[in-house]
Amino acid sequence: MPTATAYATQNLQQPMYSLVHRPEDDPDGLSCWIALPDRISRTQTPVVAVHGIRRNARQQADLLAARASVLGRPVIAPLFDAQRWPRYQQAVRRGRADLALLTLMRKLRREGIWLTDQFDLAGFSGGAQFAHRFAMLHPELVARLTTASAGWYTFPDETRFPYGLTPCAERPDPWSAVTREKFKRFLTIPTQVCVGADDNVCDRNTRTGPAIDTQQGVHRMARAIRWTRALQDAAHDAGLEPRASFIALSACGHDFRQCVLRGGLDRIIIPEQIDGQARQPRTDNACPEERCRHCVRPCVPGQRLREVAL
């Protein structure tokens, strides 16, 4: 797999969009922030961006808005509040966060906010946990998946959910909806597994213990690499071309803003389009600025983003 490099966000042209808050319209509904382009494309999928445990949905929409709006793509950032969706990361737990998102997307479709049959799904930290589990539950809706800095994953093995694919046998478990055929379809989704290259320590928000550390690794970097390899192996076993790739965001830790402005995460979530097809970020050899205003240390030429061969 070739190495790719990318730089901090540069607008494709002058963006035109509005950043709006859509409040919940029923007691069990989701509110969201929407970066709404002046002209919505009828062919480009919207981007659904899911926050981490800090629940900063506005930041997700704000930092992805400029790049998405140039392509006529709305950015929809749902807000899972802590009281009703305390474990939204697991998608099927209390409140059924996956169904709440489905309901929101149906409403936004009726309102003309998005016009396609599928959407691109991205998540950071806890949002990345939700995103990949949602995609396993509803693969027919997800055109492209980007997980960034997830703390841990559901692996394609026989471990009981949420660590693996096996549903609970002692009681009705909504995870049983992930059938063999659904999971096979999930494996066909182009999937970018991202993590900051400096996000390689076990912090207080990292789920840890003998079982999960043995299965997945001891920090986010190790876990992202293991999960990508597991998806690639599962695709091979199913007779499919692997669609998962691992990307390390150089000089980035566990910070969404940093990953976008310094690491080029927005370029991964919203790649340039050529003849309607997504293409990899540019492979320039040097940063245009020795030290830009977003960095706390000098840039390493050609090392903003690294796609790593596993």
Q: How is 41-70 classified by DSSP, letter by letter?
A: -SSSPPEEEE--TT--HHHHHHHHHHHHHH
Which tokens sit at 166? 């096996």
| C-alpha torsion sign, points 221, 215, 244, 134 | negative
Side-chain-side CA neighbours of residue 76 (13 Å):
25
d(CA 51, CA 89): 10
Across the chain, how many H-helices and E-strands are there?
8, 11
Question: Is the C-alpha dihedral spanning 223, 234, 46, 308 positive or negative?
Answer: positive
Region 133-145: what's the mean pLDDT?
Answer: 98
Distance CA 129, CA 103 (A): 20
pLDDT in tens, 230-253: 999 999 999 999 999 999 998 999
Which pLDDT band holds residue 13 (cuts at 50, 70, 90)?
low
pLDDT tens-digit readout, 169-224: 777 889 999 999 999 999 999 999 999 999 988 877 788 888 888 898 989 999 99
Q: What is the C-alpha separation between 52 and 37, in angstroms, rounded?
A: 24
pLDDT value of residue 15:
67
Q: What's the pLDDT at 263? A: 94
Peptide bond into 23 cis (omega under 30): no
Compute the mean pLDDT over every residue in the chain, rounded to the nearest whole number.
86
Rounded to whole angstroms, the Cα distance separating 209 from 66 reads 40
Mean pLDDT, to the nearest integer, of 108-130?
Answer: 97
Cα gap 279→206, rounded to integer Å: 33
Question: CA-to-CA distance for 120 and 147, rounded, in angstroms?
Answer: 11
pLDDT band for position 310 (cuts 50, 70, 90): low
pLDDT at 141: 98
Check residue 202 and give its pLDDT.
81
Q: Is the pLDDT of residue 143 over 50?
A: yes
Percent of the chain residues topping a pLDDT of 90: 72
Report how far residue 135's alpha carbon sits from residue 98's, in angstroms, rounded to the nearest whole number.
9
> Does a cis peptide bond (omega within 30 degrees of 0) precede residue 162?
yes
Looking at the predicted structure, is the pLDDT value of residue 147 above 60? yes
The domain spans of the chain are 17-308
DSSP-derived 3-state class of residue 33: strand
Element (H, E) at 215: helix 210-216
Please report the pLDDT score of residue 168 as a whole number. 86
For the four alpha carbons of 293, 297, 298 and 303, in that order, the dihedral sign comes to: negative
pTM: 0.86
Least confident of 110-114, 254-258, 278-282: 278-282
Question: Average pLDDT of 150-174?
Answer: 92
Instruction: Identify the CATH number of the domain defined by range 17-308.
Output: 3.40.50.1820
Provide the pLDDT for residue 190: 98
CB 73 within 8 A of CB 37: yes
Range name among 17-26, 73-82, 105-114, 166-175 with the lowest pLDDT average: 166-175
The tokens for 252 are 């980035």
User: Is 283's pLDDT higher than 80?
Assistant: no
Cα separation, 45 vs 117, whole angstroms: 8
In the prediction, which pLDDT does 26 show? Answer: 84
- 66, 15 contact by CB (below 8 A): yes
Tokens 């950043």 label which residue? 19
What amino acid is encoded at 266 in this protein?
Answer: D
